[in-house]
Structure formats: structure tokens, C-alpha cells
Amino acid sequence: MSDAEIRIERLTGALGAEVQGIDLSRSLSNAQVDAIHRAFLDNQVIFFRDQSITPEDHLRFARLFGELDIHPFAAGLDDHPEIMPVVKEAEDHVSINFGGTWHSDVSFYEKPALGSVLYAIEVPDAGGDTMFANMYLAYEALSDGLKDTLDGLQAVHSASRSFGLNSRATRRSKEGGDVSMTVNPSEEAENEVVHPVIRTHPETGRKLLFVNYNFTQRFVGWTAEESAPLLKFLWDHAARPEFTCRFRWRKGSVAFWDNRCTQHLALNDYHGSRREMHRVTICGDKPV
């Protein structure tokens, strides 16, 4: 397809757009990459339908936007460790699915992800949607007083809640039904990093809320108990319906989201059906 055939269709007022006229199995022109990048920045998460891509295609596309990450606690494909299979088997009835709470990918890194590219290999007939939330809007909707409180405040992030020895990953295994993924809880998940609560996006210059349920533990200089009420308010606030979009997957769909200014949630409403996605994560920079 020619560059002129690229179409951007907004999905909601909050965020999200479908990009039409792109075949991700082919090398893209500079103009196509520029159009995708602009749609990505403008809409925070973009979607491509009816794609048929190989692992090599997947990696080639993601590398257009940066270096690729290898997850420290969840196994990648044997031949392509940068590609993490996110799988739930039909017989897997665990109540806690992978990615099943609102989060920003790997914010427990010193340099959290720029974004992720998720490809649908197999999806249920119904269910298994992914929700996304716009952290620009979450910040902008705060009162001036709370913005003043949060500006300059820092928060501690770690992977302990998700991948520590007493984490959800451990509980998933203890439920006896987790047959889907290789996740390795580790003491290393207890390591902590510090990020600003209000982050400025490095490309758009816009301010956004940068705390999430999975990985934000407490505010710097506050105890966990003191932090809990305000963090809970911010987590609930970030997921307000008017800040979100909901994407219904089909086989061959691709989502590319900006991890710096969004959060996402994988819904766990398809017990008895199989779902397999392949995720590639693009390395980012230190939040400021």
C-alpha cells in the first residue's frame, strides 16, 4: 500500500486509534514510520487489524522505535527471548491472570519501557479484551491543590507485588491451575527504584500521572501505611471510565501502546478458552 492510503481512525474520546493501510509483514517506508509514530504520540495506543507476522517481522517493527527488552521474570521464546508469550490455556482457571491489574509495564526498572507491541496469535470467541487508560487525562483532571502536593513527590517502585517470592505469581502457582506461562518469582523482584509521581513525557512535553497498582509501593519519605490512602485514590482515579478505551482482540490484531503515558489491564473473563499473545517491549528512558 502507498503512504497515501494510511488512515487513522480514533476509537474513543480518551485515547486509542486504529491504523489502517499498513502491512507489518513488510518493510515500512520512512513516511509510513513517521505516520505511525505521530499516531502513537497523538493517541497513546494504536491498533492494527488483520496482520499476519512472523517473530522476525514483530521484532523488526518494534526495533524501529528503540532497543528491545528481555523480561527478567517471565520467559521469552527459545529462539527469540525478546518475545514474551502471554498465554492462558483453556484448562487454566486461575483467578489472577498475567497483566490482570492496572499497570505500566516494568516501571520497576530505572528506565521503564517506552512501549510494547502485542500480537494476537489466538483469542477466545468472546472476552479477553484489554483496557487502556490515558495518564495525561488522569493528571489534568486532578485538582490544583493535589497537583501541587504531587509535583516534586517521588514514589518507590518494585516488582515485589507481581514477581516477588510472596507475589501474585507465587499465588497463581499455588492455585494449581497455572499451566500457561513460565514465570520465575525471585528475590531480585524486591529491588527498589524511585520515580517522580508526576512525569513529563520526553517527546510531547506533557505532564502525566506515573503511579500504578502493580509496581508502586509507597511515596519517598512516607511509610507504606501513610502512602496507602493516597495511592489507592490515585489508582482508582487513573482508571476512571472517561480516561479509558477497551479493545476487542481478533486473531492477527496488534496493539502498540506508549508505556510512558498509559496504563493497561488484561481482562480475565474467558475461562475455558485459550488465549495466546506475543509481547515485545521497547526500552525507554529514566522518568523526569
Active-site annotation, residues: 103, 105, 264, 279
- For 23-67, the DSSP string reads -TTSPPPHHHHHHHHHHHHHHSEEEE-S----HHHHHHHHHTTS-
Contact (CB, 8 A) for 266 and 180 = no
Task: Give the other-Cβ count within 10 Å of 146's Cβ.
Answer: 15
Separation between Cα atoms, residue 195 and residue 239, nearest integer Å: 20
Run of H or E residues at 81: none
Sheet of strand 244-247: strand arrangement: 244-247, 130-134, 262-266
Separation between Cα atoms, residue 212 and residue 107, nearest integer Å: 8
